[in-house]
Amino acid sequence: MVMCPSAPPARKGVGRLSSLIQLVLVGGVIYFGLFAGKDLLDFYRFRDAIKQEARFATVRSDQQIKDRLPAFADSVGLPWEARDINVVREGDRIQIWSEYEKELKLPFEYQRLSNLRPSVERTL
């Protein structure tokens, strides 16, 4: 008769403990993400608007781009500096960017000043 080595005895409570740790980690990420998430979402929305303008740069003038993007920045609620849009065309390339500082609010009354620079460079 061939004997199989027996499996080690199951440790009770290990599955519950690892589930609890995972739950605490996910809760912590959500808690911290709620604070800075809105500011970062606004940055990504503004960068997407810049990408959209770069896509249609062949049918829009630089002045039209400079008029449309500040209106979007205002609607999102970005700081005043974000309305300063730079547009550079060189041959068949266009570069559009803006630069502004935003205080990212984090838990426990911690704030961090971040320099954000949404930019797009595209071949026309």
Judge whether residue 99 has pLDDT over 60. yes
Please check whether residue 2 lies inside any domain of the structure: no
| Residue span of the structural domain in which 76 resides | 38-123
**pLDDT score, position 10:** 58
Please check whether residue 18 lies inside any domain of the structure: no
Please check whether residue 91 lies inside any domain of the structure: yes
Number of domains in the chain: 1
Please check whether residue 79 lies inside any domain of the structure: yes
Please check whether residue 71 lies inside any domain of the structure: yes
Give the lowest-confidence range in 20-24, 37-41, 93-97: 37-41
**pLDDT score, position 9:** 60
**pLDDT score, position 29:** 83
- More reliable by pLDDT, 22 or 10: 22
Inter-residue contact 123 to 93 (CB < 8 Å): yes
Q: How far apart are CA 30 and CA 77, in angstroms?
A: 23
**pLDDT score, position 51:** 97
